Amino acid sequence: MEEIRLRFPPSPTGYLHIGSARTALYNWLFARKHGGKLVFRIEDTDMERSTEEAAKAIIEGLKWLGITWDLGPYYQSDFAQEHREAAERLLEQGKAYRCFCTKEELEEKRKAAQKEKREYGYDRTCRSIPKEESDRRASNNEPFVIRFKVPDSDEPVVFEDKVYGRIVTNRKEIDDFVIVRSNKVPLYILSNVVDDHRDRVTHIIRGADHITNTPKQVLLYQAFGWPTPVFAHMSLTLDSQKAKISKRRHGEMATVAWYKEHGFLPWAFCNFLALLGWNAGDDREYFPTSDELVEAFSLEGLSKTNAVFNYRKGDPKFITDPKAIHINSLHLRSMAIESLLPYVKSELEKAGLWKDNYDSDEREWFVEMVDLLRARYNLTTDFATLGRPYFTEDYEIEEKAMKKGLKKDPGIKEYLPVIANKLEALDPFDKDAIEMCLRELAENYGVKVGILTNAVRAAVTGQNVGPGLFELLPVMGRGRVVARIRRIASSLG
RNA sequence: GACCCUAUCGUCUAGCCUGGUUAGGACACCAGCCUUUCACGCUGGCGGCACGGGUUCAAAUCCCGUUGGGGUCGCCA
């Protein structure tokens, strides 16, 4: 049986874009699902815009996402000679022809057509130039491009799209398109077909923006006598203004790197991306592992309608699609704690909060603390921002914590030193003992236990929100807790 | 403008093919419950079949049209 092969062929003209990442993801999922291979090919035939840095950034992005490939990366430009030869073959067979029209001439015709509100298509001026003349002009070094000669026929060009169904195109809608530039560099439309054939690609999953050039490529496959692969076009992702998401309009938020920097877990982000324009057919949206997504994935679940990325510029609650954050929190809270640790370490390092002891003597303490905190965090960056007081003595008492925790009851500044003394002497220093201790004290003072817990929380974390206090204190450790309470108590004057 | 694609809550979507559902789920939002705080969780609420014609006993579902949205129309990919 023929091996299933897919490909991901980005052009290296910028960072890895979330739309490209989604395309890569779907190809990868499909390949894995069917035991196939994924070809990674960098389409750099546009030398003007392609850069090595961009290629690197794309590779980095894919690696971070965990999207792996089986073949490549190949560079399309390495195969330029093969593409030229393919074009040469078409030329010899009369399936393509040299076009000597200059850019300026064509531009003029285009403008004239626009002015008269006629639709513009290449007028086939050079299609009828006799072979002898064409050869002569070529050997005289007259510049030319090579155009594909769309075969005359009454039959429309048809292909069966796995998502959109049967796409029928009238040949009159297809120009004799250019396949080789005047500088002899082949164009994408040609190179792409030649490469896909050489790489034995069986399935092409790509953005719906390629739908209209698919008939041209189908014609090329036919001209070469090659079987056409299966096409599956996927809906695009737009912003709330219904514009294509782009770095230019949306800034870094449109790049994969942004998600890496803002505390997203790679697999969680893939999980979210997969949901943009695809569904499992049941109510499942959370896929703990890639195996589960692979199992659920199928082309039938792809949506035909463009997805709108729910992001509002300038709105802090919508720095990105809130569903992305939600999915991330699901993964953050339930993934294996060992897998989460490196991400937390990285965030703490960036914030200057990391201590090497967390990898050795204090490792147990660190793991317990992370586990306690993650239950209410959404992003890995939260450990360094919201979590700051847990990892350093250098923390502020937030205003809300001061008000709701430390100033809530006038007696608090009397209670706090007593609590510190009690906790210092408590044995064992565990959840139940601490709870009993604080409840007893509350009863003695005739206040609700919440007054005491909130005060202690405010003192030891500077915050009025956080893990359950009775769980937190034993993890934090007696020494640290008592010291913090005393320090804050004395500062209350 | 021409050609192609598309249309279900604010957003992602199920349902459409094979007409009969109180049009389902998720995110977001609101309320309540839980509770030592905040989250989580649970319960409930808000909110949608773009419009107009057909076909039919019956239309989100089938057909036609309108409107809206998107894509493409390069010697970019």
A328 CB neighbours strand B below 7 A: no
**pLDDT at residue A158, rounded to an integer:** 94
- Whether any strand B atom is under 7 angstroms from the Cβ of A168: the reply reads yes
Distances in Å between the Cα of A388 and the Cα atoms of A227, A353, A396 are 60, 8, 10
pLDDT at residue A28, rounded to an integer: 98
Q: Note the CA–C1' distance, A99 to B4, in angstroms.
A: 27
Which stretch of A247-261, A262-276, A339-353 has the lowest confidence by average pLDDT? A247-261
Measure A311 CA to B64 C1' (Å): 37
What digits encode the pLDDT tens for the residues A260-275? 999 999 999 999 999 9
Residue A373 and residue A441 in one domain? no
Given pLDDT bands bounded at 50, 70 and 90, which one contains residue A1? Answer: low
How much is the average pLDDT of A40-46? 90
Contact A354, A341 (CB under 8 A): no
Which residue's CA is nearest to the C1' of nucleotide B8?
A: A305
Mean pLDDT is lowest, of A313-317, A363-367, A400-404, for: A313-317
Q: Which nucleotide is nearest to A100 (CA to C1')?
A: B75
Last residue of a domain, one of A368, A393, A418: A393
Does any domain span residue A363? yes
- Is residue A2 predicted with pLDDT exceeding 90? no
Please name the residues in contact with A268: beta carbons below 8 A apart, sequence gap of 6 or more. A327, A328, A330, A331, A332
- What mean pLDDT do residues A466-482 have? 95
Q: Is residue A461 part of a domain?
A: yes
| One-letter-per-residue 3-state SS of chain A | CCCCEEEECCCCCCCCEHHHHHHHHHHHHHHHHCCCEEEEEECCCCCCCCCHHHHHHHHHHHHHHCCCCCEEEEEHHHHHHHHHHHHHHHHHCCCEEEECCCHHHHHHHHHHHHHCCCCCCCCCHHHHCCHHHHHHHHHCCCCCEEEECCCCCCCCEEEEECCCEEEEECHHHCCCCEEECCCCCECHHHHHHHHHHHCCCCEEEEEHHHHHHHHHHHHHHHHHCCCCCEEEEECCEECCCCCECCHHHHHHHHEHHHHHHCCCCHHHHHHHHHHCCECCCCCCCCCCCHHHHHHHCCHHHECCCCEECCCCCCCHHHCCCHHHHHHHHHHHHHCCHHHHHHHHHHHHHHCCCCCHHHHCCCHHHHHHHHHHHHCCCCCHHHHCCCCHHHHCCCCCCCHHHHHHHHCCCCCHHHHHHHHHHHHHHCCCCCHHHHHHHHHHHHHHHCCCHHHHHHHHHHHHHCCCCCCCHHHHHHHHCHHHHHHHHHHHHHHCC
Whether residues A427 and A354 share a domain: the answer is no
Of the residues A373, A393, A413, the one at which a domain ends: A393
pLDDT tens per residue across span A76-103: 999 999 999 999 999 999 999 999 998 8
A469 touches strand B (CB under 7 A): yes
Average pLDDT over residues A129-140: 94
Please check whether residue A8 lies inside any domain of the structure.
no
A89 and A175 share a domain? yes
Same domain? A362 vs A409: no
Q: What is the pLDDT of residue A405?
A: 85
- Residue A103 within any structural domain of the chain: yes
Domain-located, residue A73 = no
How many other CB atoms are there within 10 angstroms of residue A175's CB atom?
Answer: 15
* pLDDT at residue A115 tops 80: no
Q: Are residues A341 and A424 in the same domain?
A: no
Residue A423 and residue A342 share a domain: no
Q: Are residues A385 and A344 in the same domain?
A: yes
Residue in the block written with tokens 């954050």: A325
Query: Can A247 be counted among the known catalytic residues?
Result: yes
**Are A14 and A24 spatial neighbours (Cβ–Cβ below 8 Å)?**
no
Whether A143 is covered by a domain: the verdict is yes
Any idea what the CATH number is for the domain that residue A476 is in? Answer: 1.10.10.350
pLDDT of residue A455: 95
Q: Chain B positions under 7 Å from a protein CB?
A: 1-8, 10-15, 24-29, 36-40, 69-77
Mean pLDDT of A231-246: 85
pLDDT-derived band at A315 (thresholds 50, 70, 90) equals confident
pLDDT at A105: 86
Is A264 a domain residue?
no
* A172 and A91 in a common domain: yes
Q: Are residues A486 and A451 in the same domain?
A: yes
| Distance, CA of A215 to C1' of B5, in Å | 14
The total number of structural domains in chain A stands at: 3
pLDDT for the residue numbered A116:
74
The boundaries of the domain holding residue A105 are: 85-180
Provide the percentage of residues in chain A whose pLDDT is more than 90: 80
A244 is a domain residue = no
CB < 7 A to strand B: residues 32-91, chain A: 43, 45-46, 49, 76
Distance A255 CA to B9 C1' (A): 29
Mean pLDDT of A301-330: 90
Domain finish residue from A131, A155, A180: A180
| Residues written for chain A | 493
Taking C1' of B11 and every protein CA, the nearest residue is: A310
Per-residue pLDDT at A316 = 73
Q: What per-residue confidence (pLDDT) applies to A106?
A: 87
For chain A, what is the mean pLDDT?
93
Phi/psi of residue A157, each to 5°?
Answer: -90, 125
Query: Does residue A381 sit in the same domain as residue A437?
Result: no
Verify that A106 and A165 share a domain, yes or no.
yes
Q: Give yes or no for residue A493 having a pLDDT over 80.
A: no
Catalytic residue among A244, A247, A408, A413: A247
| CATH code, domain with A127 | 3.90.800.10
Q: Are residues A481 and A413 in the same domain?
A: yes
Task: Note the pLDDT of residue A406.
Answer: 83
